[in-house]
Amino acid sequence: MQQIQLLISLSILLPFLACVSNVVLNGQKNLRDTVTFIISLITFLLVVMVCLEFNDGNIADLTLFSVMPGLDIAFKVEPLGLLFALIASGLWIVTHVYAIGYMRGNNEKHHSRFFACFSLAIGTTLGLAFSKNLFTLFIFYELLTLSTFPLVAHKGTAEALRGAKTYLAILLGTSVGFQLLAIIAVYFFAGTLDFTPQGVLRGSVSNLQAATLLALFAFGVGKAALMPFHRWLPAAMVAPTPVSALLHAVAVVKAGVFTILKVGIYIFGIDFMSVSGISDWLIWLATFSILAASIIAITKDNLKARLAYSTVSQLSYITLGVALADSLGAIAGGLHIATHAFGKITLFMCAGSIYIATHKTNISDMSGLGRKMPITFAAFCIGALSIIGLPPFAGSWSKWLLVLSAIETEYIVIVAALMISSLLNVYYLLSVVSAGFFGVTVDRENDPSQGIQEAPIFCWLPTVVTAVGCFLLFFYAGGIREFLIPITMK
């Protein structure tokens, strides 16, 4: 076994080890959380080493075993998956620190179960990122749903259970109902499920069949939260905030759009989609999803719900990038996975910090809080600006590329829609910031914000780190773009 293969298997395996260590070290909470922290550091380093090896031109291809002829459990490194793995494992470190602060500060129960499932979810995400074929990807996709279910239902209240049920029903329902059917059909038509540059379907299916398959994938990958199958994401907001931050802003939802990207680029092939026009309808649906979710976000007073709808809207940017069937659009989608991850995780962690410090969840109650918690609200502001797409923050680049791609493919209406969406973003995100800093508390006598202070350091430090990340990523986005260019080449 070559070094890089060892690195891949170790990086997937280590989070599972963290899951075990969390169960075993149930009683000693400090030791348990330190061990997980160290494991998360090592995992990240391993992924970085995979990245370095890959840049040296080592091709990593690892087949574990074959389930049926043509159905292998296999891993292979390619730029898109590597980017996703880097983000997931890197942000795991930050979120783990945050989660320690949140779970202890908030007196949540069942810490061991929580951290065990959390590590499990990261492990499956890494497996998904490195998948060589659709079959392996599907296995990890389902495992990710199952391992995050206990996290969503963590509080065990009736509300949490209801949310978790919606979560599971939609994710499992769409994946078994549509995606599995699509995968079997691809296998039937193309005879292979391997991710191949330029796709595998060209020439073996008619346009109608291809369009049907694309629809099955677009709706079957429920994690991409394309309307009308987006309900699970707001429902999952009953989970503790670290879960919403890492899993429902990064790992799970990005696993969805990552799958869409992979399917679009490596199963259908950008050229095939572009020539046959099978993805035209998806452009309009994704645009609708972008605008509708933004408008719903405005109506939400609960901060996490608003952020959830914002995520639904942002995910459709990536779906749109694929549907435009243009190499620039695909790269914009890949880049958006990275930039949105940093922006949205900052916003969620801020929402959690506010909850810990004040136990407030509604935006209307947050007037004036920014003066008490300046660090948190400053970080929120940076995250918001990045999501909106203003320089000098990371989000501006992916939006820029997406607009360019829309112009290149001559969808001027889409350009307008993207602009409108940005304006809506400004409205629903910056209104929180302005309320926080400039809002006046009505009742000065019994000022409810008295005695409120900044959240514990375990909570605000990670938010600062990711906020700085949003800023730094602005300068390195070009490098990521260069890195992603090979995915659409022949």
Partner 1 sequence: MAQFYYHFPILQVLIPFVSAPLCVVIGRSTVSWVIAFFASIASLIISVSLLSSVSDGSSISYHLGGWAPPIGIEYVVDSANALLLCLVAGVSTIALMYARDQLREEVEEKHHTLFYTCYLLCLTGLLGVLITGDIFNVFVFLEISSLSTYVLIAQGAKRDKRALKAAFNYLILGTVGATFFVIGVGYLYMATGSLNMADISLRLNNMESNRTVQVAFAFIAIGMGLKVAIFPLHAWLPNAYTFAPSVVSIFLSATATKVSIYVIIRFSFSIFGKEGDLIQDIFILLAAPLAIIAMFSMSIVAIFQKDIKRMLAYSSLAQIGYMLLGISFFSKSGLTATFVTLFNHGITKASLFMSLGAFVCVTGGSFLKDLSGIGRRMPFTAIAFIIGCLSLIGVPGTAGFISKWLLVEAALGRGLSFIAVLIILSSLLSIIYVWRVIEHLFFSESKLKFEHSKISFRIVIPLWILSLSCIYFGLDTSLVIDASETAAESLFDNSLVAE
Contact residues toward partner 1 (CB under 8 A) are: 65, 67-68, 73, 135, 138-139, 142-143, 146, 150, 153, 156, 161, 165, 168-169, 172-173, 176-178, 180-181, 184-185, 187-188
109 or 359: CB nearest partner 1: 109
| CB closer to partner 1 out of 29 and 155 | 155
Residue 384 identity: A
User: What's the N-to-C CA distance of the chain in angstroms?
Assistant: 28
CB-wise, 156 or 479, nearer to partner 1?
A: 156
Cα–Cα distance for residue pair 60/54, rounded to 1 Å: 7
Cβ at position 182, least distance to partner 1 in Å: 10
In angstroms, give the least distance from the CB of 153 to partner 1.
Answer: 6
Toward partner 1, which CB reaches closer, 209 or 274?
A: 209
Residue 302 three-state SS:
strand
Pick between residue 175 and residue 425 the one whose CB is nearest to partner 1: 175
- In the complex, least distance from residue 26 CB atom to partner 1, rounded to whole angstroms: 13
Least Å distance, CB 11 to partner 1, is 20
The nearer residue to partner 1, 112 or 274, going by C-beta atoms, is: 112
Q: Beta strands of 69-113 (E only): which ranges? A: 71-76
Burial code of 87-123, b = ≥16 C-beta within 10 A, e = fewer?
bbbbbbbbbbbbbbbbbbbeeeeebbebbbbbbbbbb
Q: Which residues of 158-193 are buried (b: 16+ CB within 10 A; e: fewer)?
A: eebeebbebbbebbbebbeebbeebbebbbebbeeb
State yes or no: cis peptide before 228, omega within 30 of 0. yes
DSSP string across 254-300: HHHHHHHHHIIIIII-HHHHHHH-TTHHHHHHHHHHHHHHHHHHHH-
Shortest Cβ 432–partner 1 spacing (Å): 33
- As a whole number of angstroms, the distance between CA 345 and CA 95 comes to 9
Smallest gap from Cβ 184 to partner 1, in A, equals 5
| Least distance CB 241 / partner 1 (angstroms) | 20
Q: Minimal distance in Å, beta carbon 113 to partner 1?
A: 10
Residue nearer to partner 1 on the CB measure, 135 or 355: 135
Question: CB under 8 Å to 69, separation ≥6 — which residues?
Answer: none
Nearer to partner 1 by Cβ, of 168 and 387: the residue is 168
Query: How many Cα atoms occupy the beta-carbon half-sphere of 340 within 13 Å?
Result: 29
